[in-house]
Amino acid sequence: MAAEELQEIARAIVADGKGILAADESSGTIKKRFDSIDVESTEETRRAYRELLFTTEGVEDYISGVILYDETIRQKASDGTPFSRLLQSKGIIPGIKVDTGAKPLAHAEGETVTEGLDGLRERLAEYHELGARFAKWRAVISIGEEIPSEYCIWVNAHALARYAALAQEAGLVPIVEPEVLMDGEHTIDRSFEVTSRTLHAVFTELRDQRVQPEGILLKPNMVLPGYESSSQVPDDEIANETVRCFLRHVPAAVPGVVFLSGGQSEEEATRRLNAMNAIGPHPWKLSFSYGRALQATALKAWQGKEENVEAAQQGYYHRAKMNGAATTGTYVPELERETVTA
Ligand code: 13P
């Protein structure tokens, strides 16, 4: 695929004021989310929930792309329109999760390697046919006393680069997601060190495997103390440390960095993204690719009931709008109290 076309897709995804909705929860993860609101996870409830998100009026002002799961890209809205076509008709680019999950890494207690390379070239061709124009692969790095090992970091980086090269070949912009988990008691300095080692390995492998940096998006964690850490820090320190880490490792040729929310609250995820953009300009766009931080309010409002669809859509629309503002550093907490209207 021509380099320019990939760049064009990547740039459209990180256009000012816009970011990504991650709605690619695997069957196991979406079941966990539905359990929290006491809704049974069936093919139909999953479809109905995704339809609610995708048909939210006006959200395309803030959402440029949506990541789908294999089941979802094959599903249709109630009126028979395939979800990928529905999104395209709103000017939203469909994307697809293509890894098959993190599995225990041999000879490495407590560490994982992400699988899904077998048959990937053929699967990418099919997803392109189904309308996807970008893809996602998530590697997971855990922080503990003795981990991560260099072994774990490098095998995951190698797999990420193999995936990214195949995605570019197939005409899909690879979202490269090395997620350093935010769980644990570690300090922000330890998060910086591990994120730094991880990004170094990832960009080394991407380069060695001839991936064009102009045609990818990076989806990383923010650099922050572990959730169980006793030394929590203010948002501006998280913003400064995250940007400082990326300036060391992420080539300026990469068009955008789209953060995962990783269990931060909705407002934390918005405030911290905003804080980073407020200290710009940066070599790359800094935007969002949030799952939980765009859906938590909506999911709670929905409760699996048709009569709650509108309230749920308002919740999702509001978070999309707040994060849209954060991509340009123009978010202020007062916006949260504005009347929430979709
Ligand atoms: P969260 O924003 O909920 O972390 O999900 C984003 C994602 O796609 C993780 O792979």
Residue 338 has what pLDDT? 77
Structural fold of domain 3-337? TIM Barrel (3.20.20)
Give the residue carrying structure tokens 């929590």: 232
What are the tens digits of pLDDT across the range 15-73?
A: 999 999 999 999 999 999 999 999 999 999 999 999 999 999 999 999 999 999 999 99
Which percentage of the chain shows pLDDT scores above 70? Answer: 99
Mean pLDDT of 103-112: 98
Distance CA 70, CA 24 (A): 8
Mean pLDDT of 210-228: 98
Our mutation pick for probing the ligand 1 site, out of 137, 260, 266, 272, counting the most ligand atoms within 8 A of Cβ, is 260
Label residue 126 left, alpha or beta by phi (over 0 means left) and psi (-120 to 50 means alpha).
alpha
Ligand 1 centroid distance, CA of 290 (Å): 5
Residue 339 has pLDDT above 90, yes or no: no
Cβ-count burial 27-60 (b if 16+ within 10 Å, e if not): eeebbebbeeeebebeeeebbbbbbbbbbbeebe
C-alpha triplet 68, 169, 284: angle, nearest 5°: 70
Residue 2 has what pLDDT? 81
Q: Which two tokens stand for residue 321?
A: 């709008």
Give the residue carrying structure tokens 């308002």: 314
Instruction: Name all residues whose Cβ lies below 6 A of ligand 1.
Output: 22, 138, 177, 260-262, 290-293
Query: Which candidate in 18, 97, 136, 219 is catalytic?
Result: 219
Residue 167 has what pLDDT? 98
Mean pLDDT of 310-332: 98
Mean pLDDT of 155-165: 99
Residue 284 has pLDDT above 50, yes or no: yes
pLDDT confidence bin for 342, thresholds 50/70/90 = very low
> Is 87:54 a contact under the CB 8 Å cutoff?
yes
pLDDT confidence bin for 123, thresholds 50/70/90 = very high
Is 126 a catalytic site residue? no
Mean pLDDT of 162-182: 99
Ligand 1 centroid distance, CA of 168 (Å): 22
Residue 309 has what pLDDT? 98
Is 219 a catalytic site residue? yes
Ligand 1 centroid distance, CA of 291 (Å): 5
Residue 180 has pLDDT above 90, yes or no: yes
> With a threshold of 0.85, does the pTM exceed it?
yes
- Domain assignments of the chain as residue spans, ordered by start: 3-337
Residue 1 has pLDDT above 70, yes or no: no
What are the tens digits of pLDDT across the range 186-197?
A: 999 999 999 999
Mean pLDDT of 259-284: 98
Residue 139 has pLDDT above 60, yes or no: yes
Ligand 1 centroid distance, CA of 33 (Å): 12
Residue 323 has pLDDT above 90, yes or no: yes
Residue 341 has pLDDT above 90, yes or no: no
Question: Over the chain, what is the mean pLDDT?
Answer: 97
